[in-house]
């Protein structure tokens, strides 16, 4: 069976209501109108593992354009597999071009978080990264803006923290809590690599940060230290972190 057919065959109507509620598909919610087949992510991943080698871009187009969330996720996870196993630069580039031309279909946080850094993050490791800054500054949707920050996860894993801090600055006062959570999460990940760098970033900023963002960023700090941040009692005892310039 094709990728799309395999996903459709795994549908479980008993799971639809719970998934719809979890991904906030009600009126006025961030996932309003999205539809679910009732398939958990591990099942989707198993299907992708079995199908990706025989799935072409025409089939990916069919899946990514579908109204069902799980089909779009399957397309993105398959794209990650094709990209990560690609033997040629041209195929890798085609994967990235496909991804960027379908950001309107990457329209929930899980679709962003499971695809952007294994694709864009890896692709941009040795390239100009201005695209991520553009997405963060002027993305058409909060999902494109989330792609801008979450893609830096790959850089963090390679010990490169500058872009995470710089893009966090762009999104620091964003109005949506899904961006607050993403920025806080990536700052926390940066802090796992270099706690002093995170502290230097936080010190001149933390009192103005959205509360959710700050809580995510300091989640791994020792409890007494967390409480000092939350109560606004951390003092600036060292030169403040200056976001490095970006020449992209």
pLDDT for 164-179, tens place per residue?
999 999 999 999 999 9
* Beta-carbon-side half-sphere exposure of residue 155 (alpha carbons within 13 Å): 26
Q: Are 198 and 190 in contact (CB under 8 A)?
A: yes
DSSP 51-119: HGGG--HHHHHHHHTSSBHHHHHHHHHHHHHHHHH--SHHHHHHHHHHHHTTGGG--SHHHHHTTHIII
Provide the β-strand partners of residue 35. 68
Domains by residue range for the chain, with CATH = 1-114 (1.25.10.90), 128-238 (1.25.10.90)
pTM over 0.75: yes
Res 138: pLDDT:
83
Per-residue pLDDT, 235? 79
| pLDDT digits 0-9 by tens, 106-145 | 999 999 999 999 999 999 999 999 999 999 998 789 999 9
* pLDDT recorded at residue 244: 47
pLDDT at 140: 83
């Amino acid at each position: 069976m094709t990728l799309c057919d395999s996903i459709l065959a795994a549908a479980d109507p008993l799971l639809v209501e719970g998934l719809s509620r979890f991904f906030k598909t009600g009126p006025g919610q961030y996932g309003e109108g999205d539809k679910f087949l009732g398939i958990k992510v591990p099942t989707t991943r198993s299907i992708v593992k079995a199908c990706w080698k025989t799935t072409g871009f025409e089939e990916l187009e069919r899946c990514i354009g579908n109204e069902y969330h799980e089909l779009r996720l399957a397309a993105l996870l398959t794209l990650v597999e094709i990209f990560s196993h690609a033997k040629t630069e041209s195929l890798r580039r085609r994967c990235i071009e496909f991804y960027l031309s379908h950001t309107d279909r990457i329209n929930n946080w899980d679709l962003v978080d499971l695809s952007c850094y294994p694709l864009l993050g890896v692709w941009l490791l040795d390239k100009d990264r201005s695209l991520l800054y553009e997405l963060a500054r002027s993305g058409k949707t909060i999902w494109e803006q989330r792609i801008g920050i979450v893609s830096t996860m790959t850089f963090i894993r390679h010990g490169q923290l500058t872009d995470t801090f710089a893009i966090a600055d762009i999104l620091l006062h964003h109005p949506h809590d899904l961006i607050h959570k993403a920025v806080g999460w990536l700052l926390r990940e940066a802090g796992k690599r270099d706690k002093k760098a995170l502290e230097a970033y936080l010190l001149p900023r933390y009192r103005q940060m959205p509360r959710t963002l700050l809580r995510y960023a300091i989640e791994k700090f020792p409890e007494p230290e967390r409480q000092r941040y939350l109560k606004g009692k951390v003092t600036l005892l060292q030169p403040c972190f200056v976001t490095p310039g970006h020449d992209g």
